[in-house]
Amino acid sequence: MEGRYNTRSPAVKRLMREAQELSEPTDQYYAQPLEDNLFEWHFTVRGPADSDFQNGIYHGRIILPVDYPMKPPSIIWLTPNGRFETNKKICLSISGHHPESWQPSWSIRTALLAIIGFMPTRPGGAIGSLDYTPEERKMLAKK
């Protein structure tokens, strides 16, 4: 992948470093860029313990801007989960919907941990949020 990108670009350098750092899955998450696009990543996260999402494994996409890490990523869920809409950019303080709250020191790892942390919170009407019942979320986690 290195030959396809300008390795002098701060975004490319940063993303290659993050890909290396995230190359081994943890028990909570895994993320890597597409083989042919360093600016699109796919991730899986495990639902937080002691929540309606426990035991679920959820898949999503992270779309990074060319000026990452100065601008935030967009996050799109692909797995139904009862908290976030699928196939829609979601609104979180760490997403492209809130560039004013994004910090360049944050990373894809930070975003993944935040996503896991946001799962059991109340949606509060945010774009892309859902408010399914606990029973519906538990059923989706089993699927």
Return the domain boundaries, the chain. 2-142
Number of helices followed by number of strands (H, E) in the chain: 3, 4
**CATH number listed for the domain at residues 2-142:** 3.10.110.10
Which of residues 32 and 8 earns the better pLDDT score? 32
Q: What is the pLDDT of residues 53-109, one digit of tens each?
A: 999 999 999 999 999 999 999 999 999 999 999 999 998 888 888 889 999 999 999
Q: How far apart are CA 61 and CA 40, in angstroms?
A: 7
- Strand order of the β-sheet with 29-34 is 29-34, 37-46, 57-63, 74-77
Catalytic residue among 91, 108, 112, 140: 91
Residue 4: pLDDT band with limits 50, 70, 90: confident
CB 121 within 8 A of CB 137: no
Q: And the tokens for 93?
A: 């303080």
pLDDT at 70: 95
Query: What does pTM read for this prediction?
Result: 0.91
Does residue 119 have a pLDDT over 80?
yes
Active site residue 91: yes
